Every structure is written in structure tokens, then in C-alpha cells.
Amino acid sequence: MAFDYFSGAGHAWRRFAQIRLEDLLDQRGRERTRAYIAKRIARSSWGSFERRRWKYIERLFGQDRHQPRTIGIAVDHDR
């Protein structure tokens, strides 16, 4: 499959972007995350997938509705 800027570099890049945002918020807090995202966008070249990915992360950050990551452990609630 050829790389296509408009359809993305893979089917899961949006989920990985959401995970990256969650990690940044855990590590840096809200204000430092905002500054980090702006710096990454400024450093990426126009038209690159990297810029597109960080713009998507910025949009998720602005929506402020990221969901916590699940780690895949089954829990038995009957006990």
C-alpha cells in the first residue's frame, strides 16, 4: 500500500495519537503539554505526516475528551 497523505499512514495512527496525548498529559500536565504540542507543530515541515499527526493531537487536546487507555485485563465482577 502506497503512503497516502490524505488517508493516513495506517489504520491505527489516530489511536496512537490519542495514546501519545494521554502520555503527555500524565508526564507534563496541561500547560506544558500545550506548549510541547505547539513546539512540535512549529518544528515539523508543512505538508508532512508528522505535522498532520501533531495537528490531530492538538485537536484532541482542545476537545478535552480523551478516554483513558485500557490495558486489556479481564476483571471478574462476580466475586
For residue 53, is it within any domain?
yes
User: Residue 40: which domain range?
Assistant: 13-63
pLDDT at 7 over 90: no
For residue 78, is it within any domain?
no
Number of domains in the chain: 1
The CB density around residue 7, as the number of other CB atoms within 10 Å, is: 9
- Which pLDDT score, from 0 to 100, does residue 8 have? 52
pLDDT at 43 over 50: yes
Q: Give the separation between CA 9 and CA 13, rounded to whole angstroms.
A: 7
pLDDT at 40 over 50: yes
Q: Give the separation between CA 69 and CA 34, rounded to whole angstroms.
A: 20
Residues 66-73: contacts with CB within 8 Å, 24+ apart? Answer: 66/18, 66/21, 66/22, 66/25, 67/18, 68/22, 69/19, 69/22
- Which pLDDT score, from 0 to 100, does residue 2 have? 47
